[in-house]
Structure 1
Amino acid sequence: MKPPASPEAAVGADPAVAGLQVFVVGGAVRDRLLGLPAGDQDWVVVGASPEDMTERGFTPVGGDFPVFLHPLTKEEYALARTERKSGRGYRGFVFHAGPDVTLEEDLQRRDLTVNAIAQRPDGSLVDPWGGQRDLAQRVLRHVSEAFGEDPVRILRLARFAARFDDFRVAPETLALCRQMVAEGEADALVPERVWREVSRGLMQDHPSRLVSVLEESGALARVAPAWHPPGDMGVRLDDAARRALPLASRYALACVNATDAAALHARLKVPTECADAARLLPLLREGLQAQTPDAVLTVIERCDGLRKPERFEALLAAADVCEPVDIVAWQRWLGLARDVDAGAAARTANGPADIRRAVREARLAALSHSQ
């Protein structure tokens, strides 16, 4: 595979890194090789110490291991490091970073071969673990058995499968994931990390693959038991992706057949807007066949459409994934109900206790005139 054009060629003129062995690694290199727009660059420095970096004006920002901000660009530069398993879960590691750590050792600790390619400032590549081969063959393969020490990597694998839908997961990698689940590694995942990877996977073009890889690995029943077995969830999620629906809508669609959605919201500590969408979507779907003004207004009220019209319209789009919805009609009804002058209607009430009834009757009248 031909090395991509490198925007880092001018790095040699940068006094902050002059004389250092610096490499771009990870996703930026992978995406350039695939002809995709490269996101933020991850830099690795080989042969340097924390003292070397601070003397050059870099600002230390790392917690568990040395990461530094460039004095001008503010890009992150991490010292090459190795890691050793010291406990269960993704936090159970001891890191070593120092001048003696080689680039190959640093790349070996990474998750997938396609993410373990480094690029020199001159554009040439360092690929000791066959990442270019797996890019060409469209394979997601773990770099080494160290993959099995970090359960977050199961989630990342599923997310990458959702993003790169023409890549297959190597059988040996899937087998390692199953082994990790069987050994209890997935049980050590904390909600914040699960939600971070799951939410990003849901927003990919093929979120069904997120679910299918988690299911095939056995991890779905551990991290999101309410989604296990997934049934036709993947079909709904891919349809939602084609329609470019937002995260809250996609999460709500994932929870359509959940065995205990409320418990899942709490387990994953999902954002309020996602939990609300999952709670309200069934209420909306129950009332979609409403024919009378009273039934229509009741649906709008139950789903808080008068107060949050944008969310109500997003729920309509999500419901349309499950069954055809006359979205235009519901948008018109919502608009009519919201256009009622609540102040004027309240002035017709027989005292403060009667205001709610008076306003509702005005809205029912507006809906009646539209039918």
Structure 2
Amino acid sequence: MKIYQVGGAVRDRLLGRPVSDRDWVVVGATPQDMLDRGFQPVGKDFPVFLHPGSHEEYALARTERKTAPGYHGFSVHAAPDVTLEQDLSRRDLTINAMAEDADGQVIDPHGGQRDLAARCLRHVSPAFAEDPVRILRLARFAARFTDFTVAPETLALMRAMVEAGEVDALVAERVWQELSRGLMEARPSRMIEVLRDCGALARLAPELDRLFGVPQPEQHHPEIDTGAHLLLVLDQAAAAAAPLTVRYACLCHDLGKGTTPREEWPRHIGHEGRSARLSASLSERWRVPNEARELAALVAREHTHVHQSMGFGPEARLRLMDRCDAWRRPDRFEQLLLACECDARGRTGFEARDYPQRERLAADLHRLQALDQRAISADAIARGVKGPGIGHAIHQARLEALTAAG
């Protein structure tokens, strides 16, 4: 039995990046050998075990054979006679197909170190085309390793995979798993660019793909193209270290602009409502968690109002907060404001522009949260007010507080 560290841990160490997760491959062993050493089995589709001490994953060396379309269409063979080189040859990218033995020696049969130096994302073998998830993974790596480019032959292979319908076989849960991880990388715009370059974006999210080439008013959007604006907004969200919910909301905030009739370009009257509906549809298709899908719909519907809020009086600002359910969901309201700030700064030349709307509305919210609603309700009841009248009394107290604040 021989044990090798493999994959991302080797890659990241060579890049000088922090190593968080470690994966191991065991060559020359059977499942019973692992059980006899106290390892706990966890793999459903192939033999994977947890180390009894570190709880890191140890997988038996294996080969795979394509048997059907899609992510699950594989037959796996794991046996003591499978070599390390055979196991590495089934991996997706050369930079992920390296191993390290107990002495620290790197085993690199596919030129991973060469491609690390060249900053290149390159597939290991034609077997890359057998698993459509690899398109998503490569796009995610492009968002993480921001100075890496995709090898031309790899991009050509990805395009062929899309044309063959492999992407259409992806299950929603796996799409969301990979895309959500990509949104949390350093430059999520690169994930969208790679998916668009290979044609996968049009299959996975035509709502996003059709934003590219749609113009916006140049006085508000120097970048003009709606798709280019989307990419800038995503990277602003990453620069702000925004949570996934905000980044997903940024992804969906302008979807309605892709459905504006051409004769109405570059204006997009009413795109907010269309964006909210398309956001809900995309979230349903990808089975996005409720917290993210709800914020995405809210940002799509209200972002223009937030942008315009510096011109709002107390009543309009209070109506905005009422519509957003800011009293019961204050954290979500603050995330709405952050997404709007990313949207405003996601324009060429506006990256460092102040966004006083966020500060003002957040201050409004905190000011109104400080009101003693129980005292207001008790006073109303003492005056004989009942039912909806109590809510009106609270509303009036909030309005008076905003009016007094200016």
Q: Shared fold (TM-score greater than 0.5)?
A: yes
Q: Is the 8 A contact 1:283 1:302 kept in 2?
A: no
Runs of 4+ off more than 3 Å: none
Alignment partner of 1:277 is 2:295: yes
Pick which of 72-81 and 112-121 moved more. Answer: 72-81
Query: Match of 1:24, SS?
Result: strand
RMSD of aligned Cα (Å): 1.2
* Cα distance in structure 2, aligned partners of 1:241 and 1:37: 19
- Report 1:169-318 matches (<5 A): 169-230=150-211, 231=227, 232-259=229-256, 260-288=278-306, 289-290=308-309, 291-318=312-339
* Cα distance in structure 1, aligned partners of 2:112 and 2:65: 23
* Cα distance in structure 1, aligned partners of 2:294 and 2:33: 50
Aligned equivalent of 1:45: 26
Aligned equivalent of 2:347: none
* Cα distance in structure 1, aligned partners of 2:114 and 2:387: 74
* Cα distance in structure 2, aligned partners of 1:353 and 1:239: 43
Q: Is the 8 A contact 1:25 1:118 kept in 2?
A: yes
Q: Is the 8 A contact 2:89 2:125 kept in 1?
A: yes
- Report 1:329-368 matches (<5 A): 329-347=360-378, 348=380, 350-368=385-403
* Cα distance in structure 2, aligned partners of 1:156 and 1:92: 18
Q: Give the number of aligned pairs.
A: 352
- Report 1:57-136 matches (<5 A): 57-136=38-117
Query: Match of 1:307, SS?
Result: coil
Pick which of 314-323 and 361-370 moved more. Answer: 314-323
Structure 1 residue 352, shift from structure 2 partner:
1.9
Aligned equivalent of 1:16: none
Q: Which amino acid aligns with 2:322?
A: E
Percent of residue pairs bearing the same amino acid type:
54
CA 1:325–1:255: 2 relative to 1, 3 Å: farther
Q: Is the 8 A contact 1:283 1:299 kept in 2?
A: no
Q: Is the 8 A contact 1:155 1:197 kept in 2?
A: yes
* Cα distance in structure 1, aligned partners of 2:245 and 2:31: 42
Structure 1 residue 285, shift from structure 2 partner:
2.1
Q: Is the 8 A contact 1:159 1:200 kept in 2?
A: yes
Deviations 1:287-328 (A, max 9, x none): 233422111011111111112222211211210122234222
CA 1:284–1:337: 2 relative to 1, 3 Å: farther
Q: Is the 8 A contact 1:174 1:217 kept in 2?
A: yes
Q: Is the 8 A contact 1:162 1:209 kept in 2?
A: yes
Q: Is the 8 A contact 2:252 2:300 kept in 1?
A: no
Runs of at least 5 residues in structure 1 that lack an aligned partner in the other structure: 1-19
Q: Is the 8 A contact 1:319 1:325 kept in 2?
A: no
Structure 1 residue 185, shift from structure 2 partner:
0.3
Deviations 1:122-164 (A, max 9, x none): 0001100000000010000000011000000000000000000
* Cα distance in structure 1, aligned partners of 2:324 and 2:368: 13
* Cα distance in structure 1, aligned partners of 2:205 and 2:58: 35
TM-score using structure 2 length: 0.85
Runs of at least 5 residues in structure 2 that lack an aligned partner in the other structure: 212-226, 257-277, 345-354
CA 1:325–1:180: 2 relative to 1, 3 Å: farther
* Cα distance in structure 2, aligned partners of 1:286 and 1:302: 14
Q: Is the 8 A contact 1:287 1:296 kept in 2?
A: no
Query: Match of 1:156, SS?
Result: helix
Structure 1 residue 245, shift from structure 2 partner:
1.1
